[in-house]
């Protein structure tokens, strides 16, 4: 055994210990079929699409405001949507061309949303940089400003603007940065491939995050079903004193922020609180790479790796896709489908969004697109709750989903609030195990909106 292999084995053995700061997992959770069909598919860059549809709302927070008009000729990486506030994100075009539409167009969320439509030019002009400064001379504030300018958001699916996470109040000092390389959703393998193919840039991004936040420690959390990524990352950070790789138990939703923080550090985010309340910031591994590229090369966030999977995709794989590419054109470029899908899901099957069609664009939060047959979709008949408690035993937030659902249906908002509805992370574990087939996550999402309105009316 080589010295490198001995070092990797030593780290893995340390991570297996349940003592110290490494818990390796969290209470509750489930283990759905992984279906990582594309784990060995290297990232391929698709050819340029003919059209881009760039929604102004691709992130949590206020939508951006269109910064171009119909008829404008635009360059690659040009700003086309200006952030609508602090909790918002700029939108850049990945490709140059002509603006042929500014208005409401279909969005993956099922609605029509303000968007900029670009007819892509056959010959691309020079890419616009968001800055040309030396990364080594930047202060933390300058770095945050550039990250904000680049329009970087969380790439794990939540799409929270990165610069907001990196701007905690002075009363909330951050001592720990955790990179999320868990990717616990079935089918998805985009993060896995990015770790294998872009490990150096991910680690450089983590170093910058530690510097920005003046943190003491950085961790990279990866589930044990990715041994190649774990081994590679351990080897890459072995000489970096304040960065450590943590191998985690394979369990869903291991990649949820609060569960990941507990698994890595043993800390619990307080009810109603945020990671900063326990001294942590969590970023996706892809986000870390995007931050590095924005600071090092002046690149805005305008493309991402998307997993195309499901039995109906002719060429399943992991593809580098310009944001704004229509799903229909992406499917055509990569080889098409073998039959009409029963269901199309943007993201993973647990927390993803079912699409009504393929005339919607890839956005900053599109980690995967699944094209599934009826046999691959869990359709169950709905019955009354039998109070079996299955949902209680697996809830990663220690809630009682059956009781919350019962009071939600009766519109008993105060009782629902007292039961901790707002702590629900909408992971779908309860619905997955429910023998009555109850649409628990849909119920909770609806009640959260109603509870918010009720609280405003009674404040």
For residue 71, give the CATH number of its domain: 3.10.20.600
Please give the structure tokens belonging to residue 194. 């990015």
Helix (H) or strand (E) holding 443: helix 440-457
Helix (H) or strand (E) holding 112: strand 112-120
User: Do 358 and 418 reside in the same domain of the chain?
Assistant: no
User: Do 356 and 330 reside in the same domain of the chain?
Assistant: yes
User: Do 26 and 78 reside in the same domain of the chain?
Assistant: no
Per-residue confidence band for 430, with pLDDT thresholds at 50, 70 and 90: very high
**How many Å separate Cα 84 from the centre of its chain?**
21
Share of the chain above pLDDT 70, in %: 95
Q: Of 411, 203, 184, give the one whose Cα is nearest residue 289.
A: 203
User: Is residue 382 a part of any domain in this protein?
Assistant: no
Per-residue pLDDT tens for 136-156?
999 999 999 999 999 999 998
Q: H helices within 82-189, ranges in order?
A: 140-150, 162-165
User: Is residue 384 a part of any domain in this protein?
Assistant: no
C-alpha separations of 55 from 114, 118, 361, 387 in Å? 6, 11, 8, 43
Count the neighbouring beta carbons within 10 Å of the beta carbon of residue 85. Answer: 12
What's residue 18's pLDDT?
39
Q: What is the residue range of 93's domain?
A: 43-129+300-375
Q: Is the dihedral of CA 319, 117, 61, 423 positive or negative?
A: negative
User: Is residue 410 a part of any domain in this protein?
Assistant: yes
User: Is residue 37 a part of any domain in this protein?
Assistant: no
Q: Of 351, 346, 350, 337, give the one whose Cα is nearest residue 364.
A: 346
How many whole angstroms separate alpha carbon 26 and alpha carbon 230? 19
User: Do 208 and 120 reside in the same domain of the chain?
Assistant: no
Q: Are 361 and 94 in contact (CB under 8 A)?
A: no
Per-residue confidence band for 1, with pLDDT thresholds at 50, 70 and 90: low
What's residue 19's pLDDT?
37
Count the neighbouring beta carbons within 10 Å of the beta carbon of residue 270. Answer: 11
What's residue 80's pLDDT?
98
Q: Of 101, 95, 99, give the one whose Cα is nearest residue 122.
A: 95
- Looking at per-residue pLDDT, the higher value among 6 and 438 belongs to 438
Per-residue pLDDT tens for 179-205?
999 999 999 999 999 999 999 999 999
Q: Are 371 and 313 in contact (CB under 8 A)?
A: yes
**How many Å separate Cα 378 from the centre of its chain?**
23
The residue out of 248, 264, 297 marking a domain boundary is 297
Bridge partners, 370 (sequence order): 309, 345
Find out whether the peptide bond into 253 is cis, omega within 30 degrees of 0: yes
What's residue 16's pLDDT?
53
Residue 319 has φ and ψ, to the nearest 5°, of -125, 140
User: Is residue 94 a part of any domain in this protein?
Assistant: yes
How many whole angstroms separate alpha carbon 91 and alpha carbon 430? 36
What's residue 201's pLDDT?
98
Total number of domains in the chain? 3
Average pLDDT over residues 285-289: 98
Share of the chain above pLDDT 90, in %: 91
For the chain, what percentages of helix, strand and coil (3-state, to nearest 5) are there? Answer: 30, 20, 45
Helix (H) or strand (E) holding 157: none
User: Is residue 352 a part of any domain in this protein?
Assistant: yes
User: Do 23 and 141 reside in the same domain of the chain?
Assistant: yes
Q: Are 79 and 36 in contact (CB under 8 A)?
A: no
Average pLDDT over residues 378-389: 89
User: Do 230 and 256 reside in the same domain of the chain?
Assistant: yes
In this predicted structure, the answer to whether residue 223 has a pLDDT above a threshold of 80 is: yes
What's residue 145's pLDDT?
98
Per-residue pLDDT tens for 54-72?
999 999 999 999 999 999 9
- Looking at per-residue pLDDT, the higher value among 3 and 162 belongs to 162
User: Is residue 74 a part of any domain in this protein?
Assistant: yes
In this predicted structure, the answer to whether residue 178 has a pLDDT above a threshold of 90 is: yes
User: Do 226 and 371 reside in the same domain of the chain?
Assistant: no
User: Do 194 and 275 reside in the same domain of the chain?
Assistant: yes
What's residue 24's pLDDT?
85
C-alpha separations of 271 from 283, 292, 407, 446 in Å? 21, 32, 20, 20
The residue out of 258, 279, 297 marking a domain boundary is 297
Q: Are 355 and 310 in contact (CB under 8 A)?
A: no
User: Do 183 and 324 reside in the same domain of the chain?
Assistant: no
Q: H helices within 17-159, ranges in order?
A: 140-150
User: Is residue 263 a part of any domain in this protein?
Assistant: yes
Q: Tell me the pairing of strands 217-223 and 176-180.
A: parallel
Q: Are 253 and 427 in contact (CB under 8 A)?
A: yes
What's residue 20's pLDDT?
35
Per-residue pLDDT tens for 319-338?
999 999 999 999 999 999 99
The residue out of 252, 268, 297 marking a domain boundary is 297
Please give the structure tokens belonging to residue 111. 């609605």
Average pLDDT over residues 354-371: 97
Please give the structure tokens belonging to residue 285. 């591994």
Q: Are 447 and 399 in contact (CB under 8 A)?
A: no
Which residue shows structure tokens 């699944």? Answer: 370
In this predicted structure, the answer to whether residue 210 has a pLDDT above a threshold of 70 is: yes
| Total count of residues recorded for the chain | 459
User: Do 85 and 139 reside in the same domain of the chain?
Assistant: no
User: Do 124 and 150 reside in the same domain of the chain?
Assistant: no
What's residue 310's pLDDT?
96
Q: What is the DSSP string of 218-261?
A: EEEEEETT-HHHHHHHHHHHTT-TTEEEEEE---BTTTSHHHHH
User: Do 72 and 47 reside in the same domain of the chain?
Assistant: yes
What's residue 10's pLDDT?
57
The rounded mean pLDDT for the chain is 94
Per-residue confidence band for 88, with pLDDT thresholds at 50, 70 and 90: very high
How many helices (H) and strands (E) in the chain?
Answer: 14, 17
pTM of the model: 0.93
What's residue 459's pLDDT?
80
Per-residue confidence band for 400, with pLDDT thresholds at 50, 70 and 90: very high
């Amino acid at each position: 055994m080589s010295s490198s292999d001995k070092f990797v084995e030593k780290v893995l053995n340390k991570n297996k210990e349940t003592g110290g700061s490494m818990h390796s997992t969290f209470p509750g959770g489930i283990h759905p079929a992984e279906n990582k069909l594309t784990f060995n598919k290297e990232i391929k860059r698709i050819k340029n699409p003919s059209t881009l549809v760039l929604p102004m709302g691709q992130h949590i927070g206020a939508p951006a405001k269109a910064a171009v008009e119909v008829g404008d000729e635009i360059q690659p990486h040009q700003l086309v949507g200006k952030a609508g506030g602090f909790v918002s994100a700029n939108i850049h075009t990945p490709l140059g061309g002509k603006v042929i539409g500014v208005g409401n167009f279909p969005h993956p969320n099922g609605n029509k949303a303000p968007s900029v439509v670009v007819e892509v030019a056959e010959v691309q002009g020079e890419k616009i940089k968001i800055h040309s400064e030396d990364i080594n001379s930047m202060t933390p504030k300058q770095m945050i400003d550039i990250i904000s300018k680049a329009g970087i958001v969380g790439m794990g699916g939540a799409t929270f603007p990165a610069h907001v996470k990196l701007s905690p109040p002075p009363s909330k000092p951050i001592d720990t940065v955790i990179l999320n390389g868990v990717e616990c959703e079935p089918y998805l393998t985009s993060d896995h491939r990015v770790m294998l193919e872009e490990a150096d840039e991910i680690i450089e991004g983590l170093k910058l995050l530690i510097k920005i936040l003046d943190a003491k420690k950085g961790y990279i959390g990866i589930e044990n079903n990715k041994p190649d990524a774990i081994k590679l990352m351990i080897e890459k950070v072995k000489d970096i004193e304040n960065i450590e790789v943590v191998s985690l138990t394979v369990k869903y939703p291991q990649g949820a922020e609060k569960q990941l923080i507990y698994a890595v550090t043993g800390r619990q985010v307080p009810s109603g609180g945020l990671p900063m309340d326990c001294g942590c910031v969590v970023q996706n591994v892809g986000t870390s790479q995007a931050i590095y590229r924005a600071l090092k090369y002046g690149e805005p966030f305008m493309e991402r790796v998307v997993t195309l999977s499901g039995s109906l995709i002719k060429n399943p794989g992991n593809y580098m896709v310009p944001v704004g590419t229509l799903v229909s054109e992406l499917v055509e470029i990569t080889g098409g489908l073998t039959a009409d899908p029963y269901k199309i899901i943007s993201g993973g099957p647990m927390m993803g969004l079912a699409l009504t069609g393929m005339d919607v664009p890839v956005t900053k939060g599109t980690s995967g697109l699944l094209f599934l047959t009826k046999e691959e979709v869990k359709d169950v008949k709905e019955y009354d709750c039998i109070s079996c408690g299955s949902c209680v035993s697996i809830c990663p937030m220690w809630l009682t989903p059956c009781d919350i659902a019962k009071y939600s249906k009766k519109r008993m908002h105060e009782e629902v609030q007292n039961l901790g509805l707002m702590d629900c992370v909408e992971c779908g574990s309860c619905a997955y195990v429910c023998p009555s087939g109850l649409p628990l996550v849909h119920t909770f999402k609806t009640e959260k909106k109603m509870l918010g309105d009720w609280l405003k009316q009674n404040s």
